[in-house]
Structure 1
Amino acid sequence: MVSARMNEIKKGTNKFYMEDDKNEMTAEICFIPEKNCLVVNHTYVDRSLRGKGVGKQLVDKVACYARDERKKIIPVCSYAKKVMTEEEKYRDLIEDQDYDKRY
């Protein structure tokens, strides 16, 4: 069974991720940085961690990073898109509603 060190989200190159005690990646959210936005294109959570809020923690982390960098987010990843459009606290970060046509 994989156990991530909860709440220990690390910053990598164009991603945020979590590792287990063996330093194996157990969850990640990836993005492509552009001039004024981050294109969130992938979210992964290990089966053993699904349903525990890890995916939402990752979305929140990239949202905080975007705010700190004064950038918008284009969520092309289906999970990130769902979370960001359903939760009011992220709506101000969404670049536009035509992102599916652009990516």
Structure 2
Amino acid sequence: MSNFTIQQTETSPGAFYIESQDDQRAGVLDYRVKEETLIIDHVGASNELRGTGAARQLVDHAIKWAIGQGYAVRSKCSYGRHVLEKHYPHLLED
């Protein structure tokens, strides 16, 4: 798994993203914050990043950021939900 530099836009809704070599967003995680909860709306990666672990790193980064802010984490995106269930089950509501 490669390590990618992840950047953040703090607009509402926000995004964490990875830029490609030509300064385009090659990987992105779109999110919003509602009532002290980070909601992952979408995670995607370009063809050049598929299979590199980029999407997983975006989700991990977003979750760590949310925890640092004192937020709960939820996902509307199936991939984000998969990562939460598999690697962060302690963050899910019972």
Shorter-chain TM-score above 0.5: yes
Return 5+ residue gaps in structure 2 as ranges.
Answer: none
Q: 2:4 aligns with which of 4, 7, 23?
A: 7
Q: Contact 1:71–1:93 (CA<8 Å) still a contact in 2?
A: no
> How does the TM-score come out when normalised to structure 2?
0.87
Higher strand share: 2
**Match runs of 1:18-97 below 5 Å:** 18-87=18-87, 90-94=88-92, 96=93
> How does the TM-score come out when normalised to structure 1?
0.80
Return 5+ residue gaps in structure 1 as ranges.
Answer: 98-103
Structure with higher Rg: it is 1
Moved over 3 A (4+): none
Cα distance in 2 for partners of 1:36, 1:91 equals: 19
How large is the RMSD of aligned CA atoms in angstroms?
Answer: 1.6
Shift of 1:40: 0.5
Cα distance in 2 for partners of 1:22, 1:48 equals: 12
Cα distance in 1 for partners of 2:73, 2:67 equals: 9
* Cα distance per residue 1:67-102 (max 9 Å; x no partner): 100111111101101111012xx22333x36xxxxx
Task: Give the letter aligned to residue 43 of structure 1.
Answer: V
Cα distance in 1 for partners of 2:91, 2:36 equals: 11
